[in-house]
Amino acid sequence: MSLSKFIKFLPTTLLFFLGFITFFFFQYSLHLSYFILAGWVLLFLSIQFCGAYFIGLNFHLISLNKLNTNQKQVLLTFDDGPHSPNTVKVLEVLKKHNVKAVFFVIGKNIPGNEAVLKQIIAEGHQLGNHSFSHHNFIDVWPTKKVTADFAQCQTLIESYQPNQKLFRPPYGVTNPNLAKAIKQLQLQSIGWSIRSYDTSIKNVEKIKLRILSQLKPGAIILLHDRLDFVPELLEELIPAVKDKGYEFVNSV
């Protein structure tokens, strides 16, 4: 059984404060070293960081990080669009290979790219909410502001694809305020099981091999349709995935 099922934000935080209080309760009588307290705080902060950064731990909220299947099926997901012309180029490759995907769009990118959004839907792909602003400091915003931002994007998405409730946190980072916003808006958080790191690696062959080495039934693959080289990557990746006996689906 996975340890991550037991390490969650609330019990971890309560345990930390219990340990903090216990230290000072016994510190005088047992002459406890403050190095113990420092280690306890460091452990707590490390757990908090990992819980926020690694969405697959489901620390703050439950995300769907792989498909509920044992079949050789995978899901392609794209973040940060719509982008012109790169999203259109991605769509061309997907259509060529008869592959459907989920596009997690940023609300502020929709104005001026309405035709791209309509093309995504017309060609059988799903939309997902990736926030309206994708602001650099959205992770430290209060709950009310975060909720308003997500709701603004959600309104736009549902005007194109009604009742669409898929959501992916900006940067994949989670926290209590974001969890409250997602719950209030009744969205389904979607994570991933394969992070391509296409925003940093930049090498098509390396990214392809990284993804192929992690392929498992139900894998959810994270890519970014705004990047110039992603259409080229897909031209190589899709046939390679199919050669391993996998099929692409776009239903979660």
What residues are labeled active site?
79, 224
CB 181 within 8 A of CB 158: no
219 C-beta neighbours (distance < 10 Å), count: 21
Distance (Å, whole) CA 106 – CA 129:
7
Distance (Å, whole) CA 148 – CA 190:
20
Distance (Å, whole) CA 206 – CA 26:
54
Distance (Å, whole) CA 142 – CA 10:
18
Strand ranges (E), the chain: 73-81, 102-105, 126-129, 166-167, 188-189, 194-195, 219-224, 247-249
Query: Residue for token digits 């693959």?
Result: 221
